[in-house]
Amino acid sequence: MMNATLLWLRQDLRLADHPALHAALHRGGPVIPVFLWAPDEAGDWPPGGASRWWLHHSLNSLQADLEAAGSRLILRRGPSESALRELCQQTGADAVYWSHRYEPSLTTLDQRVKESLAGAGLEARSWNASLLHEPWTVQNKAGKPFQVFTPYWRHCLSLAEPEAPLPAPRKLPAPARWPSTLDLQELELEPKISWTDGLRQSWQPGSTGAKEQLSGFLHESFDNYGEHRNRPDLPGTSRLSPHLHFGEISPRQVWHGLRRLAQQRHLGERQWRNSQFVAELGWREFSHHLLFHFPHTTREPLHPEFSRFPWRTNAEHLKAWQRGQTGYPLVDAGMRELWNTGWMHNRVRMVAASFLVKDLLISWQEGAAWFWDTLVDADLAQNTLGWQWTAGCGADAAPYFRVFNPASQGEKFDPHGDYVRQWCPELAGLPAEWIHRPHEAPASVLNQARVELGVKYPHPIVSHPIARDVALEAYARIKGSTRPA
C-alpha cells in the first residue's frame, strides 16, 4: 500500500475541481487533509476580522464535506514548514500536495517549504487551483507582464479554453490512524466582540453556498448583468467574490457553468465570452497577474512619481469615512453596508474610494487597510489593484482627473434612493430628488422628512467642488501637467 499524502489546504476549501486532491487520489494511499493556521506567514497582510469570520465558517463547512466523504480535516497551528514535517513524521506520509498562492510573502514561503520537504526526502508538489491562467504564463509580445487590462484579457481569450472542472470525489481513503487535531474553536478565528450578525444573515460560507450563489446568479441575474451591475439598489451582481477568494468554488467552475448556460440559451460563443461578466473574471485574473509581477504594489504605487503625492493625515475625516458619516449619502450607505455585511457593491466601492483619496486626500493605503479588515472578500491582489486604480497610481489606472461626484453618482445608479434608504434610514423620508443631496434640500423638504442636518445626519465634511479643485491641482503637479479645465 502506498504511503499517505498530506493535502495542505489554504484558500482552496472545496473538494470539487481540486487538482492537488485529484493528484493525491491518483497517487494512491490515504489522503490526510490538513489546514494550518499561520497568519504571521502572510507578512504585512494577515487575515482581517471579516476574513477570519468567513474562514471559520468555511472550515466548518469543509469539515462536514470531508466527513461525508469518509475523511477528516486536521487542524494545526504553524509555522507551516515545521508543522508539515511533523505531520509527515507522525503519519508516515511521504508526500505533501497543495495549491499555489500568489501573494509575495507566500510565494517565498512555498518555495522554502518545497526545498525543506525535498531535503527531508519527501515529495512536494503544487498545482493551480484558483486562476484560469497563472501569472507567469501570460506575457506581452516583448515577453514582459501586461500593465493594461484590455490587451491582457484579449490575449487570455486567445489562449486555450480552461479545462473542464474535476468532479468532487465521493470517498477519500483514510489512514488507519488519524493524527491529533485542534478543535476549530481553538483557532479563535471569530471576533470576540459581537459585530457579525449582519455577516451571518448575508452569507453562507462553504462550497454549498458557493454553488447556490453561482446557480442563482446564472439563472436570475446574468441576463441583465450588463445593465444592472452598476445598480446597488438591485440584485444585479454575482456576489461570488468571497467564495472565489476562499476557493470554495473555482474560476473554472464559474467559466464552465456560464458555458452550460450559454448552450442552454443558444448564445453564440463570442456573445458570452465577450460579456461584461466574463470581463470581470478577467479583472480578477489581471489583479493576480499584477501582484505576482509587481509585488511592491501592496504598499507602494506602481508609478513611483506618486510617492511624492501630498497626502493628508486627518484622523477625524478618516473616522467619519469609516463610519459612514461623511454627509454624502451614497458614500455613507456603502460604508455602512460594508460594516454590517462585510461587503460593498462594486460601483459604491469606487465612489467611496474616490471620496477618500480625492475629496479627503487621505492615502489609498489607509483605505486599503480598512477594506482589508472589513471585507469578507478581502483579496490582496484585487484590493491592491482597486485602490491603486482609484488613486490613479497603478496599472490601467483611472485618469487622475476622474473624480467621482458622490451626489451625481447616486442619482445615476440609485435613482429612486432605495439603496440609501436601506443603509441610511435617517434619510428615508426624503424624496428621490433630494436624497442624494440632503445638504442642498430646501428647509421645508428637510422638515417634512424629519431630517435634521448636523443632528440626525451630518453636514458634508468637505465641499466636493472645492475638494475636487484641490485634488486636481495636486495631481497635476505630480503628473507634471496643467490642470484640465
Q: Identify whether 187 is part of a domain.
A: no
Judged against a pLDDT cut of 90, whether residue 197 lies above it is answered with no
Could you tell me the three cell numbers for 440? 442642498
Judged against a pLDDT cut of 90, whether residue 79 lies above it is answered with yes
pLDDT score recorded for residue 1: 57
* Claim to verify: residue 258 and residue 315 sit in the same structural domain: no
pLDDT score recorded for residue 238: 97
pLDDT score recorded for residue 402: 84
Q: Identify whether 270 is part of a domain.
A: yes
CATH code, 246: 1.25.40.80
CATH code, 87: 3.40.50.620
* Claim to verify: residue 227 and residue 341 sit in the same structural domain: no
* Claim to verify: residue 381 and residue 416 sit in the same structural domain: yes
Range of the domain at 410: 304-477
Mean pLDDT over 71-81 rounds to 97
* Claim to verify: residue 247 and residue 314 sit in the same structural domain: no
* Claim to verify: residue 464 and residue 324 sit in the same structural domain: yes
Q: Is 157 helix (H, G, I), strand (E, B) or coil?
A: helix
Judged against a pLDDT cut of 90, whether residue 313 lies above it is answered with yes
398 pLDDT tier (thresholds 50, 70, 90): low
Share of the chain above pLDDT 90, in %: 92
Q: Please provide the average confidence, as pLDDT, over all residues in the chain.
A: 95
pLDDT score recorded for residue 485: 41
- Domain-terminating residue out of 128, 153, 180: 128
Q: Identify whether 264 is part of a domain.
A: yes
* Claim to verify: residue 368 and residue 226 sit in the same structural domain: no
Sheet of strand 95-99, all strands in order from the earlier edge strand to the far edge: 74-77, 31-37, 5-9, 95-99, 123-127
> Phi/psi zone of residue 127: left (φ > 0), alpha (ψ -120 to 50 degrees), beta?
beta
- Domain-terminating residue out of 239, 274, 293: 293
Mean pLDDT over 308-330 rounds to 97
Which residue in 63, 83, 61 sits closest to 72, CA to CA? 63
In DSSP terms, 321 is beta-bridged to none
Q: Identify whether 175 is part of a domain.
A: no
Q: Identify whether 193 is part of a domain.
A: no
Q: Identify whether 199 is part of a domain.
A: no
Q: Identify whether 178 is part of a domain.
A: no
Judged against a pLDDT cut of 70, whether residue 484 lies above it is answered with no
Cα→Cα distances 281→199, 222, 250, Å:
24, 13, 11
Could you tell me the three cell numbers for 397? 489606472
Q: What tens digit of pLDDT does each residue of 329-357 get?
A: 999 999 999 999 999 999 999 999 999 99
**Which of the two residues, 479 and 454, has the higher pLDDT score?**
454
- Residue 153 burial (CB < 10 Å; 0-12/13-18/19+)? buried
* Claim to verify: residue 156 and residue 123 sit in the same structural domain: no
* Claim to verify: residue 216 and residue 264 sit in the same structural domain: yes
pLDDT score recorded for residue 479: 75
> Phi then psi for 408, rounded to 5 degrees?
-70, -30
DSSP per position, 7-53:
EEESS---STT-HHHHHHHHH-S-EEEEEEE-GGGGTT----HHHHH
Catalytic residue set: 280, 283, 311, 346, 364, 387
* Claim to verify: residue 22 and residue 45 sit in the same structural domain: yes
CATH code, 402: 1.10.579.10
Cα→Cα distances 263→132, 207, 222, 272, 371, Å:
21, 24, 14, 10, 38
- Domain-terminating residue out of 293, 316, 346: 293
Distance CA 27, CA 5 (A): 8
Mean pLDDT over 259-263 rounds to 94
Share of the chain above pLDDT 70, in %: 98
* Claim to verify: residue 123 and residue 136 sit in the same structural domain: no
Judged against a pLDDT cut of 90, whether residue 137 lies above it is answered with yes
Judged against a pLDDT cut of 80, whether residue 9 lies above it is answered with yes
Q: What tens digit of pLDDT does each residue of 39-48 get?
A: 999 999 999 9
Distance CA 453, CA 442 (A): 12
Q: Which long-range contacts (CB under 8 A, 24 or more apart) does 399-402 make?
A: 400/472, 400/475, 400/476, 400/478, 400/479, 401/472, 401/475, 401/483, 401/484, 402/354
* Claim to verify: residue 223 and residue 240 sit in the same structural domain: yes
pLDDT score recorded for residue 186: 97
Q: Identify whether 25 is part of a domain.
A: yes
Judged against a pLDDT cut of 90, whether residue 483 lies above it is answered with no
* Claim to verify: residue 321 and residue 389 sit in the same structural domain: yes
197-200-201 Cα angle (round to 5): 90
pLDDT score recorded for residue 324: 98
Estimate the share of the chain in helix, then strand, then coil, as percent rounded to the nearest 5.
55, 5, 40
How many domains would you assign to the chain? Answer: 3
Distance CA 26, CA 38 (A): 29
